[in-house]
Chain A
Amino acid sequence: MTMPSVGILNDGAATPKRMTPWQWVGLAILALIGFFGLVAPLIGGDPLIQDLDHVMIKPCLSSPLGTDHLGRSMFARLGHAARLSLLLAALSVLTAAIPGALLGVAAAWRARWTDTALSTIADGVLALPGLLLIVLLTTFAPGKFWPFYVGLSLALWVEYFRVVRAASQTLLRSSPVEASRLLGFGPAYVVRRHLLPELIPVLRTLMTFGAATSVLSLAALGLVGVGLRPPTPELGTMMIELLPHYQEAPWLIAEPIFVLLLAVTGLALVAGERELR
């Protein structure tokens, strides 16, 4: 769960506004996984149907990625798992980013005790590593999807809040904003004209970190057995299910690992190489 530190803001001016070629490569990788997640569940058949006459067959024309130890289609299972991971990432990142960013602007705008209260809450959330919060929530609904969504959203909003707050504090004190205010423009104009253009590249980076955290948390907890449960196709549970069959069919466990690493690499590339290198 190596999420790079968020140090972008200290030199906010240097944040590139245009996408670099490597970021396009990352986006292409993510689009590929997204396409796979959309199409494979549609054409791959049922990921739960077992066929004990054809277990652990090698990739071939009829089953493009082979079948697992219960004869289930790896193509269909990986497709479902990829869709699930990306869905969780998109949902939790959006749910965290929008309120987090709004609260960040609010805290910067109304200093005094709004800021103090919000910052104290944020500090408290920061003190509990996100994975532990998710683990606590999964106890309420073992094997369900929502604890991941709620836990990730609750853990991730703090990053948006802190970064947006820090950036907005600097921006709101800048002379262009002061000029706009003196000219009588309201808060909506200041946010749209002065804050958003500066914040969007930063938010984009944070969202890719958040998406990587989501994907990794789901897989990590699936792997240790407190996440989604078999037979649900999920990358982490698939890995731990297929590990005992490594010696007969090493390509099987390699497939979910490859999908996960590809997704994380894609996200890291989109986040920008400056944090990757």
Chain B
Amino acid sequence: MGRKDGGQPLTVARIIVRRLVQALLVSLMVSTLSFVMMRALPGDAAMRVAAARYGHDLVTARAADAVRAELKLDRPVASALFAWWGDVLRLDLGTSAVTAAPVVDEVSHQLGYTIRLALAAMGIALLAGPLLGVLCGLWPGSAFDQTWRALAAAIRAVPPFILGLLLIIAFSVEMAALPAAGTMDSTSLVLPAITLAVGLTAGLIRVTRDALKSVTESGYFAFARTKGLSLSEALVRHGLRNAAAPVTAYVGVQLAFLIEGVVAVETLFAWPGIGHALVHAIYARDVPMIQGTVMAMAILFIGLSALADLAILAIDPRRR
């Protein structure tokens, strides 16, 4: 997606400011929704948290009052909302209603798992996608190109959670070759990582192929070949960098779907990352954890988008 809105040149400062504003807006939105959630959910939130923390038979009115003061549920709405926002800005996300551990600790622990999964998926996609795409784009119309393009088009119609189901059925049920759930050993990562990676890989094949095709059909590439550069020299010196900008932009746009995919895929494979934690926080109506996990995923998304923007800037000086 050529981000040309406004027609202003991209600068590092402008990218960072835009993403910081986004982060602020998202934090405001998520924290306000969580605040409303805390007060609007049926039942006494303080009692619920106290019961989750101390056990249903041990909870007393005093314990509930202590929780009420901690969650600022005894204060008027306006003052409590400002206090809530203040806490979020200071990165104090409260304590989990279920485990009583600080949300920041819980989330940073789960984030490690999510990042490991995301890195594995991105690694697969960024190796396989562009490589196959380049091979397709170098010889457009060849049998290789047509096969992979058709395959990529078919795969792109399969959403990650369906693919996950199919992989579980094929590799865990039928062949019993790979674990379907948990983090028992290193093989546990294989299925969820492939599930997340396949859609992105298919997209990358198409985008890389089209980008490389337009590069090899361009005048400057023909000139590079005519002046005597071999195909590989011309590719390295002129082709890949020009093809890399649209490919990076595509990855940037797909990040939202990667984050969304994480929620479904982690839950499906019981991978103890942040998406899995979000779903379980919702089962338990653990509002501080819901807020913490959603905010962490949103900030992760915004941070990665900023990196993608900066990468495009580094690759393509015309945008500066």
Contact = CB atoms under 8 A, between A and B. Distances in A.
A276 interface: yes
Interface string A152-167: 0000000000100110
Interface stretch (B79-87, B296-304, B307-315): B296-304
Given A2-B257, A10-B2, A276-B156, A260 B279 contact: no
A224 B297 contact: no
B175 interface: no
B110 interface: no
Nearest to A165: B5
Contacts of B301: 127, 129
Interface residues of A, number: 52
Contacts of A221: 264
A196 interface: no
Contacts of B2: 7, 10
B21 A123 contact: yes
B213 interface: no
B253 A5 contact: yes
A127 B300 CA distance: 10
Contacts of B268: 223-224
Chain B interface, DSSP helix/strand/loop, else mixed:
helix
Interface in A129-173: 129-132, 135-140, 142, 162, 165-166
B264 A123 contact: no
B290 A123 contact: no
A239 B162 CA distance: 9
A139 B282 contact: yes
A277 B159 CA distance: 16
Contacts of B166: 257
A126 to B, nearest CB: 7
Nearest to B249: A5
Interface stretch (B22-30, B56-64, B227-235): B22-30
B157 A1 contact: no
A257 B162 contact: yes
Given A140-B41, A268-B157, A224 B22 contact: no
A124 interface: yes
Interface in B272-301: 278-279, 282-283, 285, 287, 290, 294, 297-298, 301
Contacts of B30: 128, 136
B279 A132 contact: no
Given A5-B250, A220-B161, A223-B268, A130 B283 contact: no
A224 B153 CA distance: 26
B159 A216 contact: yes
Contacts of B168: 243
Interface string A103-125: 00000000000000001110110
A11 B173 CA distance: 47
Nearest to B19: A127
Contacts of B282: 135, 138-139, 142, 226
Contact of B153 (A10, A120, A225, A276): A276
Contacts of A137: 33
A12 to B, nearest CB: 13
Interface string B171-194: 001000000000000000000000
Contacts of A10: 2, 4
B206 A123 contact: no
Given A124-B25, A276-B156, A6 B165 contact: no
Given A2-B156, A2-B159, A136-B30, A129 B256 contact: yes
Given A2-B156, A10-B4, A123 B25 contact: yes
A121 B29 CA distance: 11
B296 to A, nearest CB: 10
B23 A127 contact: yes
A131 to B, nearest CB: 4
B263 interface: yes
B128 interface: no
Interface in B133-184: 149, 153, 156-162, 165-166, 168-169, 173
Given A3-B257, A127-B22, A261-B157, A132 B298 contact: yes
Contact of A277 (B206, B263, B290): B206
Contact of A224 (B254, B264, B294): B264
A247 interface: yes
A166 B257 CA distance: 23
A246 interface: yes
Contacts of A126: 22
A10 B22 CA distance: 24
Interface string A201-244: 00000000000000010011101111000000000100100010
A74 B253 CA distance: 38
Interface in B232-265: 250, 253-254, 256-257, 259-261, 263-264
6 contacts: A124-B26, A128-B29, A132-B298, A137-B33, A139-B282, A264-B159
Given A5-B254, A129-B259, 6 more contacts: A126-B22, A132-B263, A132-B298, A220-B159, A226-B282, A257-B166
Interface of B: 1-2, 4-5, 18, 21-23, 25-26, 29-30, 33-34, 37, 40-41, 149, 153, 156-162, 165-166, 168-169, 173, 199, 202-203, 206, 250, 253-254, 256-257, 259-261, 263-264, 267-268, 278-279, 282-283, 285, 287, 290, 294, 297-298, 301-302, 305
Closest 6 CB pairs of A and B: A124-B25, A127-B22, A224-B267, A131-B260, A5-B253, A129-B256
